Structures are given as structure tokens and as C-alpha cells.
Copies of this chain bind each other. A is one copy, B any other.
Amino acid sequence: MSTIANTPKPPYYAVIFTNLRTDVDEGYGEMADRMVELASEQPGFLGMETVRETLGITVSYWQDLESIRAWKQNVDHREAQRLGHEQWYADFKTRVCLVERDYGMLEG
């Protein structure tokens, strides 16, 4: 998580999840860890990057829209989303994006 995701050549998809937490911690850390693990087992998962200060940004990378859709509908993930809405997140925005181009340190 605390490294740069090793994604394939574009095109692929990114889901940018930007969020602000409530002060309710109950069960949050455990669920977040579980969701990272579960996401990484899904078909089409390509990688994830996540950072939090006050603001949290988690970017997950996916092969196509179908794999994003399937992950959003995953039963355990739906339960996590429900608890997120109710307890853990004061606000969030999810952005589904087509990565058209990327470059790293050596290609900049």
C-alpha cells in the first residue's frame, strides 16, 4: 500500500476514493484492512495506493469497468460501504477514471 502501484501499460481504470472520516473508529481499521485484502483478490484488480492525513485518498486500479462494477457489488464490500456511510465517513467522493497515459521517473 505504501508503495507506487506497479500497473500495466494503459489503458486501464482508476477509482479515486477521497474521504473525510468521522471520529468513530469502531471496527474501521480492521474493515479497511479486510477490504484491501479482499479487493486484491478480485478479478481485474491491478493495484492500490492509499494515504491518509486528515484527508484520505485511496486509488485502486482495475482492468476494466466490469471488474469495478463487480467489486462495488461484492457482498462483503457492500456491507463495508453501508457501515462507511453510516459511521465512518463524514464525506467522500468516488471518481471512476480511464487512465489514458502514464509515465514514471525515467520516462518523465
Asked whether any CB of chain B lies closer than 8 Å to the CB of A55, the reply is yes
Contact residues in B for A100 (Cβ distance below 8 Å):
96-98
The docked-state distance in angstroms from the alpha carbon of A57 to that of B3 is 11
* Residues of chain B within 8 A of A108, CB atoms compared: 81, 85, 92, 94
Residues 29-53 of chain A, each 1 if its beta carbon lies under 8 Å from chain B, else 0: 0000000000000000000011111
Q: Is chain A's binding surface mostly helix, strand, loop or mixed? A: strand
Are A95 and B55 touching (Cβ within 8 A)?
no
Q: Which residue of B lies closest to A19 (CB)?
A: B4
**Interface of A toward B, CB cutoff 8 Å:** 1-5, 7, 10, 14, 16, 18-20, 49-57, 59, 81, 85, 89, 91-105, 108
